[in-house]
Amino acid sequence: MDYGDSPAEAQFRSGLRAWLAENNPGLPASSTSDEYWAGQAPWHRALYDAGYFGISWPESVGGRGLPSVYDVILDEELAAAGAPPRPSVGYLVQGILRHAGDDVRQRFLPGIVSGRERWCQGFSEPDAGSDLAVLRTRADRDGDDYVINGHKVWTSYSDQADWCLVLARTDQDAPKHKGISAFAVRMDQPGVQQRPLRMINGITREFGEVTFDGARARAVDMVGEPGEGWRLAMTVVSHEREPGELGFVSRYAKAVKELAQLAREDRAAYTEEDLHTLGWALVGTEMLRLHVRRRLSDRLDGITHGPEGSVDKVLMTQVEQQVAHAALKASRVHPDHEEDTWMKMYLYSRAQSVMGGTAQIQRNLIATRILGLPPS
């Protein structure tokens, strides 16, 4: 793979840079405030309307059908401009693309891609997180609908979602992985309640818990076949684990560069150990950047990813937490810096080893699915 821009890529990059100079919404560049979350929907639509969202997704669902190297350029330029990242809906898009029939794809994907409709992911439950297959939310057929009852938790974007991709048990007698189906469920109906959850960094708009009490989903809005919800869930979470997809790498690189600059300006405030931490954050970020390039190169060669996504997730978590540890020092030296962005970044980084499957679960997957070790 050539790491330089082709003429077409260079043209795309300079057009994007010019657009960003005019259209950067001036929101905080990362998820460290409620203001950031409130601005997500208009930012999504602005990016899409300008041709900068869904770039690598099929034209049939509103994308531009370009190679995913353009997504990487987008992420790099968003980070360089200090603009918010592209909203992360790619994992839902991939799940629906792979598992839904044509009518469901056409009904929902253009809305998700364009940002006209907001979605959340209703998988986790109070007693079903790592062991997701024991989920208890149920969906029972009633004429042309299913009636849904249950309780979801840690549902990102539930605050602003129009739809929720809900995993629910449709066959109570089937083995636990087999009796689950996936549904598109409207959030603005009487049987659905969303309650925000406050995060450790003070954010209340990122996620919430959602209860379904006699909520209804149309049978035609089942995503995939009955009993195939588990397979869809595995596609969704495998894409959720990929750092290239999430566009985080360029943000880590930007943060680490700023941290290095602060350390240079205030050298005396930093111990050798602090600089060591910062040095490892720089090394980790560069390693992750090259790793994502390799994944991208695989993808351009038509190799789709599988369980290696767990390696990506472990590496991404490690790097985010390395960068955040370096940021913790900066937050002590510059406590007022942009309302203490560094401290909020540190607090948020704790969630990275939990969301999308915990670090322990990723390590189990690496051990059993990649290294072929027996389950412990």
Ligand X SMILES: Cc1cc2nc3c(=O)[nH]c(=O)nc-3n(C[C@H](O)[C@H](O)[C@H](O)COP(=O)(O)OP(=O)(O)OC[C@H]3O[C@@H](n4cnc5c(N)ncnc54)[C@H](O)[C@@H]3O)c2cc1C
Enumerate the active-site residues.
240
User: Which residues contact residue 57 at a Cβ distance below 8 angstroms, ignoring those fewer than 6 apart?
Assistant: 63, 64, 65, 93, 97, 109, 113
How far from 236 is each of 1, 93, 151, 260, 309, CA to CA, in Å? 27, 8, 20, 36, 11
211: contact with ligand X by CB under 6 A: no
137: contact with ligand X by CB under 6 A: no
Q: How far apart are CA 369 and CA 22, in angstroms?
A: 47
Between 205 and 289, CB nearer to ligand X: 205
How far from 116 is each of 52, 99, 157, CA to CA, in Å? 15, 22, 14
364: contact with ligand X by CB under 6 A: yes
Closest approach, Cβ 348 to ligand X, in A, equals 8
Binding segment toward ligand X, per CB under 6 A, in 86-94, 261-269, 324-332, 360-368: 360-368
How many residues bind ligand X, per CB under 6 A? 19
* 263 C-beta neighbours (distance < 10 Å), count: 18
> Do the beta carbons of residue 284 and residue 319 sit within 8 Å?
yes
160: contact with ligand X by CB under 6 A: no
Binding segment toward ligand X, per CB under 6 A, in 44-52, 59-67, 115-123, 328-336: 115-123
Name the H helices within the chain.
7-23, 34-38, 40-49, 69-80, 90-99, 102-114, 229-240, 243-246, 249-265, 272-300, 309-333, 341-352, 359-365
| 3-state secondary structure (DSSP) of residue 175 | coil
Binding segment toward ligand X, per CB under 6 A, in 69-77, 117-125, 216-224, 339-347: 117-125
Binding segment toward ligand X, per CB under 6 A, in 40-48, 118-126, 189-197, 243-251: 118-126
Binding segment toward ligand X, per CB under 6 A, in 222-230, 256-264, 329-337, 351-359: 351-359
156: contact with ligand X by CB under 6 A: yes
155: contact with ligand X by CB under 6 A: yes
Closest approach, Cβ 132 to ligand X, in A, equals 7
Token pair belonging to 258 = 């700023």
Between 149 and 156, CB nearer to ligand X: 156
40: contact with ligand X by CB under 6 A: no
Closest approach, Cβ 187 to ligand X, in A, equals 13
> Do the beta carbons of residue 240 and residue 183 sit within 8 Å?
no
User: Which residues contact residue 371 at a Cβ distance below 8 angstroms, ignoring those fewer than 6 apart?
Assistant: none
Q: How far apart are CA 106 and CA 116, in angstroms?
A: 14
**Residues in contact with ligand X, shown as a per-residue x/- string from 217 to 256 under the rule CB under 6 A:** ----------------------------------------
Q: Which of 207, 230, 252, 342 is the binder for ligand X (CB under 6 A)? A: 207
360: contact with ligand X by CB under 6 A: yes
Q: Which of 80, 197, 260, 355 is the binder for ligand X (CB under 6 A)? A: 355
Q: Which DSSP symbol is given to 369?
A: I
277: contact with ligand X by CB under 6 A: no
Q: What Rg value do the Cα atoms of the chain yield, rounded?
A: 21
Q: How far apart are CA 360 and CA 179, in angstroms?
A: 26
Between 61 and 165, CB nearer to ligand X: 165
Closest approach, Cβ 14 to ligand X, in A, equals 35
Tell the residue number behind the tokens 């659905």, with chain if given.
192
* Closest by Cα among 315, 150, 168 to 233: 168
Q: Which of 90, 150, 309, 357 is the binder for ligand X (CB under 6 A)? A: 357
Residues that bind ligand X (CB under 6 A): 120-124, 129-130, 154-156, 207, 351, 354-355, 357-358, 360-361, 364
